[in-house]
A and B are shown apart, each in its own frame.
Chain A
Amino acid sequence: AQSVTQPDIHITVSEGASLELRCNYSYGATPYLFWYVQSPGQGLQLLLKYFSGDTLVQGIKGFEAEFKRSQSSFNLRKPSVHWSDAAEYFCAVSKGDDKIIFGKGTRLHILP
């Protein structure tokens, strides 16, 4: 069965510092991978997605993620965070034309 693991429940970084949010997946083939962001009381916004091709994916708001098949990982990165990046981040996986399985999320806190 597909599963997604986000090992960090909370992450705190200083404004301007770099960020990496971890995501590991379990799936028999190459999955479709997503990162979504959710601000408090809001729906989800798609940051980026990987289906195939270049394993380094660029997204919105300066985020990027790298697919590493050997590690079954799809970590999200940003070189310099802004206070507005404080939110909940969800990694997700699907088989394609199928339902999405979400990780439990990582809450990002930004120190001024």
Chain B
Amino acid sequence: GAVVSQHPSWVICKSGTSVKIECRSLDFQATTMFWYRQFPKQSLMLMATSNEGSKATYEQGVEKDKFLINHASLTLSTLTVTSAHPEDSSFYICSARLAGGGETQYFGPGTRLLVL
């Protein structure tokens, strides 16, 4: 149980285009989802916390107009990287927390983004 999927698993795009990444909780409902970014050989950095039906809370230094987050249902959150640039190339990982609380986050397999 507690499986989280991400789509796509990898994406290559041209500079200036927008890319949407989906995060789904497959067998549970998640009121809260988290988006992380991971650079090579580094730890995960939290970008934003996404709550179903409300605006996402962004961490300091993360541009909310560049990284658009939508959490329209209890099983789906999306991250859109707008006007992507090569420096946005990274590994993006989402996680989901069970509805009703609970401290454990379940992580997706990640999406590797390469901006040319």
CB of A99 within 8 A of CB of B104, answer no
The docked-state distance in angstroms from the alpha carbon of A105 to that of B36 is 15
Q: Chain A's nearest CB lies how many Å from the CB of B59?
A: 8
CB of A44 within 8 A of CB of B93, answer yes
Q: Chain A's nearest CB lies how many Å from the CB of B113?
A: 13
CB of B109 within 8 A of CB of A43, answer yes
Instruction: From the candidates B41, B102, B107, name the one contacting A43 in the complex (CB within 8 A).
Output: B107
A-B contact count (CB 8 A): 48
**Contact bitstring A91-112, B, C-beta under 8 A = 1, else 0:** 0001011011011110100000
CB of B46 within 8 A of CB of A43, answer no
**Contact bitstring B73-116, A, C-beta under 8 A = 1, else 0:** 00000000000000000010101000001111111111010000
Q: Does B34 contact A (CB under 8 A)?
A: yes
The docked-state distance in angstroms from the alpha carbon of A46 to that of B44 is 14
CB of B112 within 8 A of CB of A99, answer no
Q: Does B49 contact A (CB under 8 A)?
A: yes
Instruction: Assign chain A's interface to a size class.
Output: 20 to 34
The docked-state distance in angstroms from the alpha carbon of A90 to that of B36 is 14
Q: Does A42 contact B (CB under 8 A)?
A: yes
Q: Does B43 contact A (CB under 8 A)?
A: yes
Further 19 A-B residue pairs, CB within 8 A, beyond A96-B103, A99-B49: A32-B103, A43-B93, A43-B107, A43-B108, A44-B95, A45-B107, A46-B104, A46-B106, A49-B104, A90-B43, A94-B103, A97-B101, A97-B102, A100-B46, A102-B43, A102-B44, A104-B42, A105-B43, A107-B41
Top 8 nearest A-B pairs by Cβ distance?
A44-B107, A43-B109, A43-B107, A104-B43, A102-B43, A43-B110, A32-B103, A102-B44
Binding site for B on A (CB under 8 A): 32, 34, 36, 41-46, 49, 51, 90, 94, 96-97, 99-100, 102-105, 107
